[in-house]
Amino acid sequence: MDSYQILAFENHEIYNSLEVSADKAVEEYVKMCEKHVPAEYTPQEYTHFDSDKMYVKYSDGCGNDKPMMILMIGLTNPEMIKSIEEGLRKIYFNNCEDCGKEIDLKWCLCQECRNK
């Protein structure tokens, strides 16, 4: 069975690592990105995403004193990359607690539900 190594680097040193099976790779990678490059502290425009046949990399470039980079090593494919990119995009949004509409991270309810 294929496995993937997910590594979190803080200030260029390994901070956390995890080995996962292929069926859990996307989910676990996005979780680790969300944990170590949290949306509430890292504006989306300061994050960097890169991928190739054997790796996926997500990092913060906001200039904090402890830069983070999350690296997944293993054979990737276009479908996997697309799923990871969508998962990373969703980190920066909430869903309205009433209607489920995608909204800005700072809100719990969309404008329509807040005006009810």
- Whole-number pLDDT of residue 1: 60
Cβ-contact 107, 95 below 8 angstroms: no
Q: Quick one: pLDDT band at residue 97, thresholds 50, 70, 90?
A: confident
Please give the average per-residue pLDDT across 41-50, as a whole number.
Answer: 91
How far is the C-alpha of 36 from the C-alpha of 43, rounded, in Å?
Answer: 13
Q: What percent of the chain has pLDDT over 70?
A: 99
Say yes or no to pLDDT of 113 above 90: no
Give me the residues paired with residue 57 across strands.
Answer: 50, 71
Residues whose CB is less than 8 angstroms from the CB of residue 101 and which lie 6 or more positions away in sequence, other chains included: 95, 110, 112
- Whole-number pLDDT of residue 61: 84
- Residue extents of the structural domains in the chain: 3-114
